Amino acid sequence: MRKFLKSFVFVGKGLLYAIKTQPNFRFELFCCMAVIFAGFYFQITAVEWLVCLLCMAGILVAELINTSIETLTDLVSPEYNPLAGKAKDLAAAAVFLAAVFSAVAGLIIFVPYLAAWF
């Protein structure tokens, strides 16, 4: 049990590192807060909440994996290597795709609420 609880210390270290050093992660957290605020404001349905939460988790997880890949790549290949560059580019593309599809889902959910609001 002690080992399990200690693992949360590592979780905290990882999240703090991402927040302190990754501007994109901070921006994505800000966007998540905006979505949460909009969800409460417009009183979205449970299914819409589920979609929003899955999208937010997908983006944040993809960003953390991207940061992990970039950090590990820098460790094992400190000088330029085309394969290291490809690994970083692929990880960045994964975050981009998660963000694009999440933005589309957000538009599908929130545009009708915004249209009714105006």
pLDDT tens per residue across span 42-95 = 999 999 999 999 999 999 999 999 999 999 999 999 999 999 999 999 999 999
Q: What is the CATH number of the domain that holds 96?
A: 1.10.287.3610
Q: How many domains does the chain have?
A: 1
Checking if the pLDDT of 113 tops 90, the result is yes
What is the rounded distance in angstroms from the CA atom of residue 110 to the CA atom of residue 86? 35
pTM attached to this predicted model:
0.93
pLDDT in tens, 10-38: 999 999 999 999 999 999 999 999 999 99
Tokens of 34: 């905006």
Domain membership of residue 29 as a residue range: 2-117
Residue 30 is encoded by which pair of tokens?
A: 């800000």
Contact predicate 105/49, CB 8 Å: no
Percent of the chain with pLDDT over 70: 100
**Neighbour tally for 28: CB within 10 Å:** 21
